[in-house]
């Protein structure tokens, strides 16, 4: 779906006119998945403990250390900042360097997890960084994405896959997020993985299937029997397999377990299939309520439980569910949908604890306004509002969601579980 305003604001006359009228001037997002920041300015906000780890990881990624402002990325270690007085250094770093971050650049702020704060002041400062980072992300503009990464107070966090993601074009539309990365043993990488993607025949699901296949995985694309043709074509194109079934059917969990068993288990499960049946609660019939709760919430829980019971999610496995910004912010006409998508968050946070002993992680993404057939059907003015009301000033693409899921499912992301990551360009909706 083309975004004419974005094109216009970036034409010669359009840029001048939007500037003169004080209208938004969104910068086109460079979402090239292989693009990585060439240089990063790394700063310590005072007594940080991650300097050595950052040096090693940046070297491994091939990101050069910048010596002054004017880099693709600004990485700040704030793990040593635990007092109000200590925030002065943080102020100075960003005051001096924020403007030097190049368009489409990245900001990564690393800090200790407030849940582990040793005293009230540290708890206040570490949590305060969330408000600080979210404001920075809004001020940065120019398609710059900024995130806060919380790490435990002790041990070496498994940061590799997260830095690789955050410094790349893959994280283009996730901004203003606070992500917890723990200490974890990272399993072997480079093995061919088997990935189940539900709702794979179109939209976000198709982008997820493609990005996993590009990364070398065998993708089992699942969708409704009516989508069989598109699924079969996709399976041939991606060298994967097709599974045509309705996830709400009584025999669905059994058939999925059977498929997993035939393949020696799944490494990754992506619960992407979802539906909307919008009506305000007073006008909503029970069928709309039940259908949404079944597809978006009950079926993913049943399928996952069946796979776990049958031991068909391999050790080191990854479960990623697709929630929605509606589940966080709520939306008129979407009591059923928002309920189900908030339910996904509650389920995933609990599931993460249960599967941890098996080395399996469970996370969710919450997309905002993504350009798909679903949002193309939204009335013009609401569509325009959805596109502009975020820090990027434009809608996201299905691949933005897919790449975020790919990062959470990465073998290197063993230290991330129970996280809910919004892919919304830092939408103004919700928290
Ligand atoms: P879409 O309607 O284009 O695709 C959804 C897919 O799920 C379809 O192929 C559909 O056939 C499949 N599906 C639906 N019910 C199924 C069932 N019972 N069994 C098997 N497959 C089933 O939607 P999309 O925009 O690509 O959305 C994908 C996911 O992202 C959904 O969970 C949606 O709620 C979520 N989401 C989308 C947006 C957005 O802006 N597009 C925003 C937030 C969340």
SS3 content of the chain, % helix, strand, coil (to 5): 45, 20, 35
More confident call, 373 vs 350: 350
Q: In sequence order, what are the beta bridge partners of 420?
A: 364
Q: Is the dihedral of CA 14, 18, 24, 27 positive or negative?
A: positive
Encode pLDDT of 116-137 as tens digits: 999 999 999 999 999 999 999 9
**Separation of CA 199 and ligand 1 centre (Å):** 6
372 by Cβ neighbours in 10 Å (0-12 / 13-18 / 19+) ranks as buried
What pLDDT sits at residue 16?
85
Q: How confident is the model at residue 220 (pLDDT cuts 50, 70, 90)?
A: very high
What pLDDT sits at residue 1?
65
CA-closest residue to ligand 1 atom 12: 199
Q: Is the model's pLDDT at 188 over the cut of 80?
A: no
Query: Is the shortest distance between the CB of 377 and ligand 1 below 6 Å?
Result: no
Active site residue 5: no
**Separation of CA 289 and ligand 1 centre (Å):** 16
Tokens of 201: 């025949």
**Separation of CA 420 and ligand 1 centre (Å):** 18
**Separation of CA 101 and ligand 1 centre (Å):** 36
CA-closest residue to ligand 1 atom 34: 274
Report, as an integer, the average pLDDT of 31-59. Answer: 95
Q: How confident is the model at residue 383 (pLDDT cuts 50, 70, 90)?
A: confident
Encode pLDDT of 136-181 as tens digits: 999 999 999 999 999 999 999 999 999 999 999 999 999 999 999 9
Q: Tokens 């995933």 sit at which residue? A: 348
Report, as an integer, the average pLDDT of 13-36. Answer: 86
Q: What is the mean pLDDT of the chain?
A: 95
**Separation of CA 274 and ligand 1 centre (Å):** 4
Query: Is the shortest distance between the CB of 244 and ligand 1 below 6 Å?
Result: no
From 5, 150, 266, 337, active-site residue: 337
CA-closest residue to ligand 1 atom 19: 246
**CA dihedral of residues 188, 189, 195, 200 (deg, nearest 10):** 160
Asked if ipTM goes beyond 0.85, one says yes
**Under a CB-based contact definition with an 8 Å cutoff, are residues 54 and 78 in contact?**
no
What pLDDT sits at residue 186?
81
Q: How confident is the model at residue 316 (pLDDT cuts 50, 70, 90)?
A: very high
More confident call, 56 vs 10: 56
Query: Is the shortest distance between the CB of 275 and ligand 1 below 6 Å?
Result: yes
What pLDDT sits at residue 11?
87
Query: Is the shortest distance between the CB of 204 and ligand 1 below 6 Å?
Result: yes
**Under a CB-based contact definition with an 8 Å cutoff, are residues 408 and 320 in contact?**
yes
What pLDDT sits at residue 431?
52
Q: In sequence order, what are the beta bridge partners of 83?
A: none
**Under a CB-based contact definition with an 8 Å cutoff, are residues 322 and 272 in contact?**
yes
CA-closest residue to ligand 1 atom 41: 370
Query: Is the shortest distance between the CB of 162 and ligand 1 below 6 Å?
Result: no
Q: Of 189-198, 219-228, 252-261, where does mean pLDDT reach its minimum?
A: 189-198
More confident call, 68 vs 58: 58
Q: Of 44-53, 178-187, 380-389, 397-406, where does mean pLDDT reach its minimum?
A: 380-389
Q: What are the φ and ψ backbone dihedral angles of 419, each rounded to 5 degrees?
A: -95, 150
Query: Is the shortest distance between the CB of 336 and ligand 1 below 6 Å?
Result: no
Report, as an integer, the average pLDDT of 63-80. Answer: 93
**Under a CB-based contact definition with an 8 Å cutoff, are residues 154 and 113 in contact?**
no
Sorted by where each starts, the structural domains of the chain and their CATH numbers stand as: 31-180 (3.40.50.720), 194-423 (3.40.50.720)
What pLDDT sits at residue 247?
98
The pTM is what? 0.96
**Separation of CA 324 and ligand 1 centre (Å):** 11
Q: Is the model's pLDDT at 190 over the cut of 80?
A: no
Q: Which atom of ligand 1 is nearest to the CA of 326?
A: 43
What pLDDT sits at residue 293?
98
Report, as an integer, the average pLDDT of 10-24. Answer: 84
What pLDDT sits at residue 23?
83
Query: Is the shortest distance between the CB of 374 and ligand 1 below 6 Å?
Result: yes
What pLDDT sits at residue 172?
96
Tokens of 152: 């435990």
Encode pLDDT of 162-174 as tens digits: 999 999 999 999 9
Pocket test for ligand 1, best of 259, 269, 275, 325 (most atoms within 8 A of CB): 275
Q: How confident is the model at residue 7 (pLDDT cuts 50, 70, 90)?
A: confident
What is the number of residues in the chain?
431
Q: Which atom of ligand 1 is nearest to the CA of 401?
A: 30
């Amino acid at each position: 779906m083309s975004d004419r305003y974005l094109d216009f604001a970036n034409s010669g006359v359009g840029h001048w006119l939007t500037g003169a009228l004080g209208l938004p001037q969104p910068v086109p997002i460079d979402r090239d998945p292989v693009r990585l920041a060439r240089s990063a300015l790394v700063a310590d906000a005072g007594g940080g403990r991650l300097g050595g780890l950052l040096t090693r990881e940046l070297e491994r990624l091939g990101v050069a250390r910048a010596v002054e402002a004017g880099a693709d990325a600004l990485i700040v270690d704030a793990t040593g900042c635990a007092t109000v007085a200590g925030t002065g250094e943080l102020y100075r770093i960003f005051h001096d360097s924020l403007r030097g971050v190049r368009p489409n650049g990245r900001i990564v702020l690393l800090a200790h997890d407030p849940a582990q704060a040793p005293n009230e002041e540290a708890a206040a400062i570490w949590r305060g960084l969330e408000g600080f980072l979210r404001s920075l992300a809004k001020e940065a503009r120019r398609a710059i994405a900024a995130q806060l990464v919380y790490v435990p107070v002790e041990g070496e966090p498994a940061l590799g896959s997260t830095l690789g993601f955050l410094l790349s074009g893959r994280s283009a539309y996730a901004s203003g997020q606070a992500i917890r990365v723990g200490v974890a043993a990272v399993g072997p990488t480079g093995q061919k993985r088997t990935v189940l993607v539900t709702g794979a025949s179109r939209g976000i699901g198709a982008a997820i299937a493609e990005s996993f296949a590009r990364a070398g995985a065998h993708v089992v694309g699942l969708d409704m029997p009516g989508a069989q043709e598109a699924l079969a074509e996709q399976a041939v194109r991606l060298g994967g397999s097709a599974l045509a079934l309705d996830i709400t059917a009584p025999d669905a969990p059994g058939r999925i377990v059977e498929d997993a068993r035939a393949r020696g288990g799944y490494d990754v499960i992506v619960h992407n299939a979802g539906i909307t049946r919008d009506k305000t609660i007073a006008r909503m019939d029970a069928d709309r309520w039940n259908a949404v709760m079944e597809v978006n919430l009950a079926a993913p829980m049943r399928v996952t439980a069946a796979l776990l019971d049958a031991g068909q999610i391999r050790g080191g496995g990854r479960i990623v569910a697709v929630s929605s910004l509606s589940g966080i912010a709520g939306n008129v006409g979407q009591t059923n949908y928002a309920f189900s998508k908030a339910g996904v968050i509650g389920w995933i946070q609990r599931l993460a604890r249960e599967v941890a002993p098996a080395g399996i992680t469970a996370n969710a993404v919450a997309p905002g306004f993504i350009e798909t057939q679903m949002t193309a059907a939204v009335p013009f003015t609401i569509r325009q509002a959805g596109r502009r009301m975020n820090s990027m000033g434009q809608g996201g693409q299905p691949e933005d969601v897919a790449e975020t899921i790919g990062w959470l499912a990465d073998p290197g992301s063993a230290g991330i579980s129970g996280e809910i990551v919004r892919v919304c360009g830092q939408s103004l909706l919700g928290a």
